Amino acid sequence: MPLYIKDTEVDRLTNELIGLTKTSKVDAVKSALKDAIASRKAKLSMRERLAKTLAMAEAAGPFHPGDHRRETDEMWGEDA
């Protein structure tokens, strides 16, 4: 979906970034958004950064211990 922004300050800032980076408008906006996202993620607490991983682990359910050596050997077609 296209992004259309009609704001004179955004246009001015985009043109300034284009002048500094010598890139296209698309690349300038993409780079600015990536930098802003990375900056925000870096400021998150450890708990916030791990929330997605913890949610995935919870959704996966409890760990089922097994004979991992045997399972790995079977997976690779090796005799135990």
Beta carbons of 17 and 32 less than 8 angstroms apart:
yes
The pTM of the whole model exceeds 0.85:
no
pLDDT digits 0-9 by tens, 6-58: 999 999 999 999 999 999 999 999 999 999 999 998 898 988 888 888 888 88
Residue 80 banded pLDDT, cuts 50, 70, 90: low
Give the pLDDT score at 49.
83
